[in-house]
Structure 1
């Protein structure tokens, strides 16, 4: 099972969700993301949020279609997206993807980046997707990575203060046992020169960002 969480970020940054449909996918809506799903005739299995970013009319429609929607107070200890991620982690899925988690307010975006660490703590993979990027985090180890023409640029950023022994093979800019620190930009915007390369590191937590060129929306 995979769980896809749709948060309330700017809709112009959310990919076409029907492209991510599959029999083993469970959809979860968060705040305005619930309305976004219903507009696309995707009925979420769960709905979370204080729903302070939608109109009373929209909330009435949501409650009518989703009696199980959980309305939380605006003043709480977790963001709406974290509530959804906490529930998703309890289901022990093979993968969690978050859509609608970028753009808009930077505090919410950075909070969503922190949720990647929560996934690692629970042994789960969490990815953040928008129309331009794929983001995920990994603990030390050796990983293979394939070339995607749609996401040609690959960046590696330390989340922990230090990432030690990073090695990149098959990349335009290879590395061998390099030590990078939080704040370094050495590993920004690399590219694969082979169909499948590898990266590894010995210590720390690394965020991987796969991106395409930016094209302003017309």
Structure 2
């Protein structure tokens, strides 16, 4: 299975809990200014994609002399650099994508990055936004997802495209069976892992799933 690690140009205060990276096995993509996070964590990306407006000209010139592939897009474009990076990951065969540095800074960009999880082109791919002890992913349509954590970790389920129906939860303190979560409700907030795995099943709709690692330790 191909996994892509995408560095976005948001806030990245620390390395995500539990994430390990392998330059040999993972496809590493920097979305424009996400290259700065690569530099900070001493990661060499396989590809840098975007309009390159957040990268200093000298740094870009130096990068052109390396094995890193550079894919330039015009500044006037319809997608954000992160969306371009996600589409590139899918085109290169990624079945799982971890996105770092997608949150914080500008609210509009943060919301845009979160809502990208609900895009049709990602509907059959496991995509996680990772930020320190926090993880966000999206469940669409008739699907089930297995979550990993520790007892006491928090799980919140937020409908983001109308009502979510046929919701069943196992491995959490507050289980549900074939339930409905109306859009705009807080009913799915702050559930709790009782063990190290949990499952969420959805029949119709779209759920944003948030996990908070309360112990701040790898799972």
TM-score range, shorter chain: 0.7 to 0.9
Partner of 1:11: 12
Structure 1 vs Structure 2 CA RMSD: 2.7
Aligned partners of 2:139 and 2:202 also within 8 Å: no
* Aligned partner of residue 177 in structure 2, secondary structure: strand
Stretches of structure 1 that go unaligned for 5 or more consecutive residues are none
* Aligned partner of residue 164 in structure 2, secondary structure: strand
TM-score for both structures, normalised by structure 2: 0.84
Q: CA deviation at 1:92?
A: 2.1
Change (3 A) 1:41 1:171: closer
* Aligned partner of residue 203 in structure 1, secondary structure: coil
Aligned partners of 1:155 and 1:190 also within 8 Å: yes
Aligned partners of 1:134 and 1:211 also within 8 Å: yes
Q: CA deviation at 1:60?
A: 3.2
Aligned partners of 1:35 and 1:58 also within 8 Å: no
Partner of 1:202: 203
Partner of 2:147: 145
Q: CA deviation at 1:120?
A: 5.8
Aligned partners of 2:150 and 2:195 also within 8 Å: no
Higher helix share: 1
Counterpart CA distance in 2 for 1:48 and 1:30 is 5
Change (3 A) 1:3 1:81: same
Confirm or deny that 1:157 pairs with 2:158: yes
Q: CA deviation at 1:119?
A: 5.9
TM-score for both structures, normalised by structure 1: 0.84
Task: Report which stretch shifted further, 2-11 or 38-47.
Answer: 38-47
Partner of 1:187: 188
Show the 5 A alignment for 1:46-195.
46-65=47-66, 68-118=69-119, 121=122, 123-139=124-140, 140-148=142-150, 152-195=153-196
Counterpart CA distance in 2 for 1:163 and 1:155 is 14
Task: Report which stretch shifted further, 128-137 or 38-47.
Answer: 38-47
Counterpart CA distance in 2 for 1:152 and 1:87 is 33
Aligned partners of 2:149 and 2:213 also within 8 Å: no
Aligned partners of 1:34 and 1:62 also within 8 Å: no
Counterpart CA distance in 1 for 2:60 and 2:121 is 34
Aligned residues: 214
Q: CA deviation at 1:28?
A: 0.6
Partner of 2:33: 32
Task: Kindly indicate whether structure 1 or structure 2 has the higher relative contact order, using CA contacts under 8 Å at least 6 residues apart.
Answer: 2
Stretches of structure 2 that go unaligned for 5 or more consecutive residues are none
Change (3 A) 1:157 1:85: same
Change (3 A) 1:123 1:108: same
